[in-house]
Amino acid sequence: MSELFERAKKVMPGGVNSPVRSFKAVGTEPIFIKRADGSKIYDVDDNEYIDYVCSWGPMILGHNYPLIEKEVSKAVKGGLSFGAPTEKEVIMAELITSVVPNIDMVRMVNSGTEAVMSALRLARGFTKKDKIIKFNGCYHGHADSMLVRAGSGALTLSNPDSLGVTNEHAKNTLIADYNDIDSVLQLFKANKNEIAAVIIEPVAANMGVVLPEKDFLHKLRKLCDDHNALLIFDEVITGFRLSIGGAQEFFDVKADIVTFGKIIGGGMPVGAYGARREIMELIAPLGGVYQAGTLSGNPIAMAAGVTQLSTLQENKEIYQKISMLAEKLADGLKKTAMELKIPICVNKIGSLLCVFFTGETVKDFKTAKTSNTELYARYFNLMLKNGIYLAPAQFEAMFVSNAHSEEDINKTLEASQKVLIDMKNEGAF
């Protein structure tokens, strides 16, 4: 595997096509995957792991789901891409608009990043305002205007969070604190009639998993209404994961624009954004907001996505099942840590969970940052040795899929207990 990584590093920056895959945050080298099936992935040396990354969320039915494989193979035989409309795209749009609340129309794109980038343009076009409020610690893909961090004070100008992002981009993105409605109100007050939209991960899942406090999303909805701003739910993770209707349905809050990715493609590169008709009719060719894509709505990708979403729609009991498995996992992880007097915080909602190595209650970016990332790195590497594949970074989610079994969860809990005892014996705690 090391040899493969050496080869990769010569021809790909960091040896990878997406930074977190490099295992840099856990101080080791990535494992290269050969194949996956159900709840398991296998590396090129044929080691087996119980997988809690699930391709960062998409594989909610597990790897190699037979019906998806069948439909994709069938679609492949009919040609890979036409650059012209197909029935599958219509079926996909009908499916999404029928299960997701408050969405009359959708536009398919190729990634979550593209969905967010397009949704922001649409929000600006619709409101004819420029500024966007985002939350500290929320990730919305790598569009320039989203790679922005807070300035030194709450109301000071934001700064680029990547080389190559201009101050012009940063200037129009304002940063609020998650679960702090007052920080949003202050930004609205300081930027009167300038805010086009507030964008949020309804459950933050890119600073570890952080749940919205009671009524936070409802208060946000009201603030947006009071100030004629749109509320954008970035449901690239929560969409079709918390429930078939996503976070809007789960929390009973209405968003104006919703973005999707990950699960929607069943493992293929797909994103989408949707809204009520009045907003969506502003998109080209109907309206003046331009957005296009050579491979958008690709027939193979649609075959995978439609099959995954319709399977979820027809088997809604999956949501209870994976939530219960995640609960068993979360409870077990907490219990072991308590018995060993190791301070951790486990956040869990639906089939999403996260173990933070901190004694604090994690409710925003600041408290997430109190986690001991070195302890996480140690934990991650020892879990990997014990056949459990967790996210190779502290500030990511664990995903439970419908392919995970009680036995997988029990094995994971046994491994976790063993690893935590070893770490304690080494003097890590």
Ligand X SMILES: *Cc1c(COP(=O)(O)O)cnc(C)c1O
Residue 140 CA to its chain's centroid (Å) = 8
Q: Angle 299-314/87-99 helices, nearest 10 degrees?
A: 30
Query: C-beta of 366: minimal distance to ligand X in Å?
Result: 19
Tell me how far apart the alpha carbons of residues 429 and 423 are, in angstroms, rounded to a whole number: 7
Residue 154 CA to its chain's centroid (Å) = 26
Cα-Cα end-to-end distance for the chain: 32
Q: Which residue has the tokens 């939350």?
A: 135
Q: Which residue has the tokens 């409020």?
A: 133
- Amino acid present at 175: I
| Residue 65 a catalytic site member | no
Spatial contact of 4 and 32, defined as CB atoms under 8 Å apart: yes
| Residue 129 a catalytic site member | no
Nearer to ligand X, 89 or 234 (CB): 234
Nearer to ligand X, 236 or 353 (CB): 236
Q: Which residues bind ligand X (CB under 6 A)?
A: 111-113, 116, 139-141, 201, 206, 234, 236-237, 261, 271
Out of 88, 129, 262, 369, the active site residue is 262
3-state DSSP call for residue 399?
strand
Look at the chain and count its residues: 429
- Amino acid present at 24: K
Out of 51, 177, 180, 234, the active site residue is 234
Out of 139, 178, 319, 376, the active site residue is 139
Query: C-beta of 271: minimal distance to ligand X in Å?
Result: 6
Query: C-beta of 420: minimal distance to ligand X in Å?
Result: 28
Q: Which of 162, 250, 274, 167 is nearest to 202 (CA)?
A: 250
Query: C-beta of 216: minimal distance to ligand X in Å?
Result: 17
| Residue 262 a catalytic site member | yes
Nearer to ligand X, 239 or 299 (CB): 239
- Those residues whose C-beta lies under 8 Å from the C-beta of residue 152, and which sit 6 or more positions away, are none
Query: C-beta of 343: minimal distance to ligand X in Å?
Result: 27
Give the CB-nearest residue to ligand X.
112
Nearer to ligand X, 140 or 369 (CB): 140
Nearer to ligand X, 129 or 262 (CB): 262
Active site residues: 139, 234, 262
